[in-house]
Amino acid sequence: MPILSAPSHPLANDEVARIRNDFPLLANELNGRPLIYLDSGATSQNPVSVMEAEQEYYEQRNAAVHRGAHTLAVEATDAYENARSLVASFVGASPEEIIFTSNATEALNLVAYSLSNASSGRGGEAARPYALGPGDSIVVTEMEHHANLIPWQELAARTGASLRYIPVDDDGALRLEEAAAVIDGSTKLLAFTHVSNVLGTINPVAELVALARKVGALTVLDACQSVPHLPIDVTELDVDFMAFSGHKMLGPTGIGALYGRSKHLRAMPPFLTGGSMITTVTMERAEYLPPPSRFEAGTQRISQAVALGSAVNYLAETGMARIEEWERLLGERLVAGLEAVEGIRVLGPRSGQPRIGLASFDVDGVHAHDVGQYLASRGIAVRVGHHCAQPLHRRLGLTASTRASTYLYNTTDEVDAFLTAVTEVRSFFGASAIGGSV
């Protein structure tokens, strides 16, 4: 299924205004003001075409896939597999390398549990290279989302392997000079985020993959914040696994994907087991299907997969390179604007340095919860808290921050309205007058 080609001219506010018409929720109000949605890093909104794809599936094709000979079942199976092909080509993978999961969290856990099962001897000879044990190490970074940290903590605890991390510096950048020491001959796996959901930083994938490759470690990329916002070609990135979530890329909730390099998926034991993933079953044992089916046990998220296929089409038609560039402009406007406000500390890269359309910040003397509440009263939806990255916040000396994150449907006017509201926060809470803590 070919991905439709996108225009080449840059995105601009007038086209974004038309794009917004495709997103009914964006026309809503928040607290009596026009909604300014700056929380797409948490979850994105859906275009009508995506909602219609899901509805059309239920109205015309709903049936169990890979089970049954009737026409509906065939159509449902085609729709599901077509969605897989769309998602695969969106990230430069082959369909058999894409496993549907419920979200990125499950995708990362799938890898962790498959390796765990290999470590307890499941999967036979082929799976032996995937076993971990005492003396082995798993390496992550200090900026991970909990979804790309805790599964590895648990895997380490189950297998006796150690968990190490690549630290970040005061600006939140990975200390690559330390990475070379942390990743050594004991390292079996390196898991890291492509783009930080707190800092907006784009990590140097090639350098990290090279370090892992040198010691023969597997690489797992958390692409939750990159696949929705940047053109991604997984063969170019050259990682072994890559996880992302549909709800952050115009798709519905309940669907995500794991990319896995074919040679690994073919050798690895399953995570969840049951129907739809087997060939022969006796009362004692079972033989498993090849991937991706081996990793998709039970009735799958068919309508969500179909809708994700539609989301991917929407993004491809708009053009990922254009979205990347538009969000680079919005991100730069956000950061430059925030840096100009007294009493604000922006986390992550300074203005002028690469980042996606996302900026987290601390307001001196005002807690993030109060910042978010003030912005909500102005119709502005942002995220507050630790954004599922407690260790990173602790490293930066914070317990919480406020995060604004954009998508293809945000305008420069919205960013400006957000910045204006941010300048009002400290005086509302009386923080600018005393310059201290509220």
Distance CA 138, CA 156 (A): 7
- Residue 201 or 303 with smaller CB distance to ligand PLP: 201
Q: Up-side HSE of residue 374: CA atoms within 13 Å toward CB?
A: 21
62-70, 185-193, 346-354, 427-435 -> range binding another protein (CB under 8 A): 427-435
Q: Which residues bind ligand PLP (CB under 6 A)?
A: 103-105, 145, 147-148, 193, 197, 222, 224-225, 245, 256, 388
Site string for another protein, 311-350 (x = CB under 8 A): ----------------------------------------
Angle at CA of residue 190, ends 184 and 192, nearest 5°: 135
Structure tokens belonging to residue 377: 């009263």
CB-count exposure of residue 76 (10 Å: 0-12, 13-18, 19+): buried
CB of 143: closest distance to ligand PLP in angstroms? Answer: 9
Q: Which member of 234, 388, 389, 422 is catalytic?
A: 388
Per the annotation, the verdict on 388 as an active-site residue is: yes
Q: Does residue 40 contact residue 408 with C-beta atoms inside 8 Å?
A: no
Which of ligand PLP, another protein, none interacts with 430 (beta carbon under 5 to 8 A by kind)? another protein
Write down the residue that tokens 């996606």 correspond to.
Answer: 356
User: How far is the first Cα of the chain from the last one, in angstroms, to the nearest whole number?
Assistant: 57
One-letter amino acid at 28 equals N
Q: Between residue 365 and residue 394, which ones bind another protein under the rule CB under 8 A? A: 366-370, 373-374, 377-378, 384-386, 390
Structure tokens belonging to residue 417: 């309205």
Q: Between residue 19 and residue 48, which ones bind another protein under the rule CB under 8 A? A: 31-32
One-letter amino acid at 286 equals A
Decide if residue 296 touches another protein (CB under 8 A): no
Residue 337 CA, chain-centre distance (Å), reads 26
Per-residue CA distances from 353 to 211, 329, 348 (Å): 24, 12, 10
Distance CA 395, CA 119 (A): 32
Q: Does residue 334 contact residue 357 with C-beta atoms inside 8 Å?
A: yes
Q: Is the peptide bond before 292 cis (omega within 30 degrees of 0)?
A: yes
CB of 356: closest distance to ligand PLP in angstroms? Answer: 11
For residue 242, list its beta bridge partners. Answer: 221, 259
- Residue 228 or 365 with smaller CB distance to ligand PLP: 228
CB of 299: closest distance to another protein in angstroms? Answer: 33
Q: Does residue 324 contact residue 10 with C-beta atoms inside 8 Å?
A: no
- Residue 332 or 370 with smaller CB distance to another protein: 370
- Residue 151 or 292 with smaller CB distance to ligand PLP: 151
- Residue 24 or 430 with smaller CB distance to another protein: 430
Decide if residue 399 touches another protein (CB under 8 A): yes
Which of ligand PLP, another protein, none interacts with 384 (beta carbon under 5 to 8 A by kind)? another protein
- Residue 32 or 134 with smaller CB distance to another protein: 32
- Residue 46 or 245 with smaller CB distance to ligand PLP: 245
Q: Up-side HSE of residue 25: CA atoms within 13 Å toward CB?
A: 16
Which of ligand PLP, another protein, none interacts with 103 (beta carbon under 5 to 8 A by kind)? ligand PLP
Decide if residue 13 touches another protein (CB under 8 A): no
Out of 275, 298, 354, 430, the only residue in the binding site for another protein (CB under 8 A) is 430
Residues forming the site for another protein (CB under 8 A) = 31-32, 366-370, 373-374, 377-378, 384-386, 390, 399-400, 428-430, 434, 437-438
Q: Which positions are annotated as active-site residues? A: 388
